[in-house]
Amino acid sequence: MKTLLFFILIIFVYFIIKFILNRINQLKEESTQKDAPLMDPTQMVICHKCGVHIPKDEALILVNSNDNDETKYACCTEHG
C-alpha cells in the first residue's frame, strides 16, 4: 500500500513540475512577443525608367510639367 501511495505521489509531483515548466515557457514567449520591436515598414516606389523598387526616402522625385497628379520617381540622376 505504501508503494502505491509513493508512486501516486511521484506522478502527482511530475505533473505539477510539468505544469509549472510549461507555464514558465508560456510566459517567456508572451514577454518576448511584447518586447519585440516592430519595424516601421518603408514605403517603396518604382523608378519610372528602369522599374527598380527603391525606398521612397532614397528616391529622386521628378517634377511634373503636365497637370497629371501622378508623381514620378527615379533611382538615380541618369534616370531623372
Q: Does residue 54 sit in helix, strand or coil?
A: strand
Rounded to whole angstroms, the Cα distance separating 54 from 51 reads 9
Confidence (pLDDT) at 26: 92
Same domain, 27 and 55: no
Same domain, 33 and 53: no
Same domain, 33 and 48: no
Residues 6 or more apart whose CB falls under 8 angstroms from that of 4 comprise: none
Query: How many structural domains comprise the chain?
Result: 2
Confidence (pLDDT) at 40: 73
Same domain, 31 and 51: no
Domain of 57, in residue numbers = 44-79
User: What pLDDT digit, counting tens, does each position of 2-47 carry?
Assistant: 899 999 999 999 999 999 999 999 998 887 777 666 677 889 999 9
Rounded to whole angstroms, the Cα distance separating 22 from 29 reads 11
Same domain, 33 and 63: no
Same domain, 34 and 54: no
Same domain, 28 and 9: yes
